[in-house]
Amino acid sequence: MAPYKLHVIVCDDSDCSAKGSQQLYDDLKQFVKDRDLKKVVKVSKSTCLDDCKMGPNVLFYPKGIIYNSVKAENLETIIEAHLRHKVASKLTHHRMLK
Ligand code: FES
């Protein structure tokens, strides 16, 4: 199996869940399926990413970038940026890694 280019991790803990993370996760899975990216983009859920007030939060590896208050309409912008090894700099985000 070839390695993925992106691992996208949606926080599904209580605060992010209360702000719609399950729907965002479902939208993300559908986005990946619709664009035939299942061999390129791995989608997972996680427990708390320690940024609860800013949820729903989504972490992108390998860059280690957390996007805050992510909406379904942001997914295309963020994923396309990361597939080009960029960051969607106009959306609220911060680095999890140095
Ligand atoms: S519950 Fe999502 S960051 Fe804490």
Q: Ligand 1 centroid vs 58 CA: distance in angstroms?
A: 9
Question: Is pLDDT above 90 for 97?
Answer: no
Decide whether any atom of ligand 1 lies within 6 Å of the 43 Cβ.
no
Q: How many Cβ atoms sit within 10 Å of the Cβ of residue 20?
A: 16
- pLDDT tens for each residue of 61-86: 999 999 999 999 999 999 999 999 99
Domain parsing of the chain, residue ranges: 6-95
- For the whole model, what pTM was predicted? 0.94
Closest listed residue to residue 94, CA positions, set 62, 59, 70: 59
- pLDDT tens for each residue of 9-22: 999 999 999 999 99
The strand order across the sheet containing 6-11 reads 41-46, 6-11, 58-61, 65-67, 93-95
What tokens does 52 get?
């609860």
Decide whether any atom of ligand 1 lies within 6 Å of the 79 Cβ.
no
Closest listed residue to residue 92, CA positions, set 54, 60, 63: 54
- CATH tag for 6-95 (out of 3.40.30.10, 3.90.950.10, 3.40.50.1000, 2.102.10.10): 3.40.30.10
